[in-house]
Structure 1
Amino acid sequence: MTSAIQDLQGLNFNLSEEHLAVQEAARDFAQTELLPGVIDRDNAQQFPTEQVKRMGELGFLGMMVSPEYGGGGMDTVSYAIAIEEISKIDASASVIMSVNNSLVCYGLEAFGTEEQKQKYLTKLASGAMLGAFCLSEPEAGSDATSQSTTADDKGDHYVINGTKNWITNGGSSGVALVIAQTDREKKHRGINCLIVEKGTPGFVVGKKEDKLGIRASDTHSLLFTDVKVPKENRIGEDGFGFKFAMSTLNGGRIGIAAQALGIAAGAYELALKYSQERKAFGKAIFEHQAIQFKLAEMATKIEAARLLVYKAARLKDEQKDYVQAAAMAKLYASEIAMWATTEAVQIHGGYGFVKEFHVERCMRDAKITQIYEGTSEIQKLVIARELIR
């Protein structure tokens, strides 16, 4: 308990004027530009091309990147706030934003060479190009050490062969960060991360997945057949790929935790509003104690999730160890997202089961937050490991 209290010392959960301005800008964008057509895009699995372009113009695709490379230079708390507001309305848009910010831009800025940053990061931060993070495979989801995709060292270049599955931004990205095995005898120490440009011979975008939720984001398999990549496109030293992936995913968990928080909060706001409008037995259903108890519990748990997200974000901003905090935030926020959206559907009754009232989409979108960037079970393993460090 003492260590937990010490972790909280110096953490201020009050939002600054800058944070409030980011919140207002993200909320306004979500309400005015994402909400119209969100149901149609979900039904048609239509990538939000114009909306993503606008996100780039507003600076939402490179929020934490240094202004030197065209980014906003904002802190992680600002990023989490923006993700939450956008996720309240459109989780498909927020995962596009999350991958580009948390995984691709962060990874390149933290570990890339100056040449890589000038060539790729500037375009990614401005939204001129989207990025994809390619770790998962048919047999390597939670077990990231079991990479079947290979990157054979040919002296001045690598040759990649293999398949990556469930890749967000897979069809819309201009560049992919590909995790591949170079030396199998070295196991996880023989893995590299390579920057692969779209259009490189042998790099093919496979089928688009027909998903339960976040249907407007594009999720593809990516296929690599004798793809030649120059050595200067390797991130870090030889064998750094696994460490790169794990370091990047630690930060990415904050983004997905914020997404889960936003999905839960959005469903709660819809349920609260509906409960004051819908009448049953001569009065608004909010006046019935059963509904009040549901909404009270939703509000409390969502606020707890928000504090966990803010704690992880602030620890990262203060360059403190945030691994456990990020895992806790993602674990709890994703569990609350699934629970709260289910409750929101229940409060809506029959209306909650139809698309017009949005909450059924929130429930479908919530499920993936318990799976990607580390399942809930993996988060528990991370937390347990950190407890005895």
Structure 2
Amino acid sequence: MTSPRRTTYLDHAATTPMVPEAIAVMTEELARTGNASSLHGSGRAARRTVEEARELIAEKLGARPSEVVFCSGGTEANNLAIKGLYWSRLEQDPACNRIVFSSVEHHALLDPVTWLAAHEGARVDTTPVDRQGRIIVDALREAVESDPASVAAVTTMWANNEMGTVQPIAEVVAIAREHGIPVHSDAVQAAGYLPLDFGASGLDAMTVTAHKLGGPVGIGALVIERDLQPTPLLHGGGQERDLRSGTIGVPLIAAFAKAMEVSVDHQAESSARIEALRARMVDGIRRVVPDAIINGDPDPGPQHRLPNIAHVTFPGCEGDAMLMLLDAQGIECSTGSACDAGVPQPSHVLLAMGYDDVAARGSLRFSLGHTSTEADVDALIAALPAVHDRALAASQVRSTFDGTVRSAS
């Protein structure tokens, strides 16, 4: 019998394991029956669980319970925010047809904005970023103030999912607020690692999801001010403030709330521990691969970058090759590139930061989480020299050809 492979998981920014407390709550709720919209005893018990979870999540995010709208996850919440706000503002004023957003947004925002431009006539202004992946505030101000009455919404992520760079949310909000423009932020990566206070932030809408902070996949929330009424994407029972229809997933919501509670209550000590692990990892990478480039903001802290992400460029290497070589050693991470129909494409984030195609394809993201240990970091450092040498050699061999790939038959 083959023993299971020891896995070193360094892809927590993609999804992090559920915390035991959330597993326990979800398991207990899965054994219960009751539709939270039903009026009988089981339904009322399910509704009580949902509303208590809503109150807890709101408390931990500095929001009011009525501002928490449960969705299937970050992608749906982002779509509801940007499409819903665009449609509702456009209905009020047909000239209000412009969206301002950053050039480093996750595809969960990039794609719906692109769709609005292609199918709904939206005009899009994309805010550039600096070499650290932080938006250039003056460029954002210029875009907004060129014609503020035409801007339906501004959206800027709280922290970048590839770099970990934290964005100047307060400055973005201040610019938009002067003109009464609603501001949304995708805080999916920030939740659990940075202190978030929706009320104090001045945001009008904010996206969070459970599986990035130790909860289950399939549940998230759009935190949105009560007086905002974006056009719904789904129509049906109107279970969530008439903004989101669908039978409420009670076990998922209960587990989401518990994961939020655990991550926020232990955030300070957890972030400090993970920051120390990141420093150990970065120092080790630089020691064994001296020409490696650590991307993003070098300074720690909630105004600079997330404590758990290290984005690294390995000059002369293909990130996809290094990922597979590391995976063969049981070390799991991610590339800085998206893969479209099996064809590697350079990351739009790195391109926006000024990297060329070659550098953008030669990068890896290592991300830590609540289960990460020194042993995980040390396993990466031990495997990296040989992996780097093999990837570098393969890239040099490939560069001697004309780039045409012929399939064997």
| Shared fold per TM-score greater than 0.5 | no
Q: Which has the higher helix share?
A: 1
Question: Which structure has the greater CA radius of gyration?
Answer: 2
Using CA pairs under 8 Å that are at least 6 residues apart, name the structure with larger relative contact order, 1 or 2.
Answer: 2
Bin of the TM-score, shorter chain as denominator length: under 0.3
> TM-score if structure 2 supplies the norm length?
0.25
